[in-house]
Amino acid sequence: MDEFIKNLRLAGGEVLEEIPDGWYVTQAEFGVVENGTVWVREYKKELFLSEKVAVKMPKKFVKTMQEAMELINSPGVFISGPSKTADVESFLVFGAHGPVRFGIIFDKGL
């Protein structure tokens, strides 16, 4: 889990204790340790239109994308941090077209 969180942060993602007001919230099914990405099955426009997106997720992880593929049985989206670009002179900027901030919050009681 520590490795997952490290990689999530590297991609610009945050770990939230509770969900602040004004965030769009959805559910993720699991995380991928090697890159800090989460699998979200529900593909809604708010995921990309909202300024701030939070996903609730269980403490369920796979090590690599190869292992992740075994768990996928429907379309959806892997998300790794907030949207980003480095198109203006290679400077990394968060909030390219999609969310400026992206956080996860672990399901309680696990």
Partner 1 sequence: MKHYELAINFYKQKGPRHDKALWAIRQKRDKAIKEVDEWEELREKASKIKDEVINNLQDYVKEFIKNAKKEGIELFFAKDAKEHNEIVFDLLKEINAKKVVKSKSMLTEECGLNEFLEKRGIEVIDTDLGERIVQLRGEKPSHIVLPAIHTTKEEVAEILGESNTDPTYLTHKMRELLRNEFLSADAGISGANFLVADKGWAVVCTNEGNADLGAVLPKLHIISVGVEKIVPSMRDLGVFLRMLARNATGQKITTYTSIFGRKENGKRVIVLVDNGRFERLNTEFKETLKCIRCSACLTTCPVFRRSGGHAYRYVIPGPIGSLLAPLNNKEEYSDLPFACTLCNSCEMVCPVKIPFSKQLVKMREYVTKDDFAFKFIETSLHSPFAFKLFSKIIRLTPKSILKKALNEWSKYKEFPTIPPKRFIDG
> For residues 2 and 91, which CB has a smaller minimum distance to partner 1 in the complex?
91
Contact 47/80 with Cβ under 8 angstroms?
no
CA dihedral 87, 88, 91, 93 (to 10 degrees): -70
> For residues 58 and 95, which CB has a smaller minimum distance to partner 1 in the complex?
95
Catalog residues that contact partner 1 under the rule CB under 8 A.
7, 10-11, 32, 34-37, 43-45, 47-49, 64-70, 72, 74-91, 93, 95-99
**To the nearest whole angstrom, how small is the minimum distance from the Cβ of residue 81 to partner 1?**
6
Distance CA 99, CA 40 (A): 15
